């Protein structure tokens, strides 16, 4: 049976990517009075921290990592000290490599914000060295974010926190 030494780290990064895009226009504050520097219709670039609070691994098929296994994650989205939203994400293993701790996962997540939701999706590849550089697409949204698109870049901070650079266009 193969162990996933980088499984949790990859899942956290994938979650961060799938759930990282709460933004608003320059004149519209986020919860807590946080303002973004760019107007609607332009790219808004901002930093968030994704803080994982729940994590489950669903092992289907043969014991250990195999195609179809899932990571289910949720937590809070922070900007500075303020909690600006929550997220939920599911990552499904789509390929398990011949080398231990190498796999691809399809991740789909949603950011839940006061003014709507933002969805994110992408394939995250993981090797024995870890998940590496992760960038995923913003695929849509609801409410104030109904025209959202762009991308999110994620960097692991620690076992529960992931730094996100969000490039949002709406």
Where do the domains of the chain lie, and which CATH numbers do they carry?
Answer: 7-169 (2.40.480.10)
Q: Which residue from 96, 92, 86 is spatially nearest to 2, judged by alpha carbons? A: 96
Report d(CA 12, CA 48) in Å as an integer: 14
Confidence at residue 129, expressed as pLDDT on a 0 to 100 scale: 79
Confidence at residue 20, expressed as pLDDT on a 0 to 100 scale: 35
Retrieve residue 85's tokens: 């939203």
Retrieve residue 170's tokens: 């709406």
* DSSP, res 144: G
The total of other beta-carbon atoms located within 10 Å of residue 20's CB is 32
DSSP H stretches of helix in the chain:
7-18
Report d(CA 140, CA 22) in Å as an integer: 12
Encode pLDDT of 38-61 as tens digits.
455 688 888 889 999 999 999 998
Retrieve residue 52's tokens: 């994982």
Report d(CA 106, CA 20) in Å as an integer: 16
Encode pLDDT of 123-138 as tens digits.
999 887 777 778 999 9
* Digitized pLDDT (tens) for each residue of the chain, 170 residues in all: 444 444 444 444 444 433 333 333 333 444 444 455 545 568 888 888 999 999 999 999 888 889 999 999 999 999 999 999 999 999 999 999 888 788 999 999 988 888 888 899 999 998 877 777 789 999 999 998 899 999 999 998 998 999 988 888 98
Report d(CA 52, CA 54) in Å as an integer: 6
CB 70 within 8 A of CB 88: no
Retrieve residue 149's tokens: 């698109």
């Amino acid at each position: 049976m193969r162990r996933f030494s980088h499984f949790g780290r990859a899942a956290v990064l994938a979650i961060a990517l799938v759930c990282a895009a709460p933004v608003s226009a320059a004149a519209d504050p986020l919860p807590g009075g946080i303002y973004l520097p760019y107007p609607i219709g332009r790219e808004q670039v901002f930093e968030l921290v994704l803080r994982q609070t729940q994590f489950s691994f669903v092992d289907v098929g043969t014991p250990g990592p195999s195609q179809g296994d899932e990571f289910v994650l949720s937590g809070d989205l922070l900007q500075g000290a303020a909690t600006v939203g929550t997220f939920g994400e599911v990552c499904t293993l789509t390929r398990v490599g011949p080398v231990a701790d190498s796999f691809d996962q399809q991740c789909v997540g949603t950011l839940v914000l006061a003014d709507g939701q933002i969805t994110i999706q992408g394939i995250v590849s993981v090797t024995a060295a870890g998940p590496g550089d992760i960038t995923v697409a913003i695929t849509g949204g609801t409410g104030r974010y109904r025209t959202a698109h762009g991308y999110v870049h994620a960097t692991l901070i620690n076992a529960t926190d992931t730094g996100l650079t969000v490039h949002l266009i709406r």
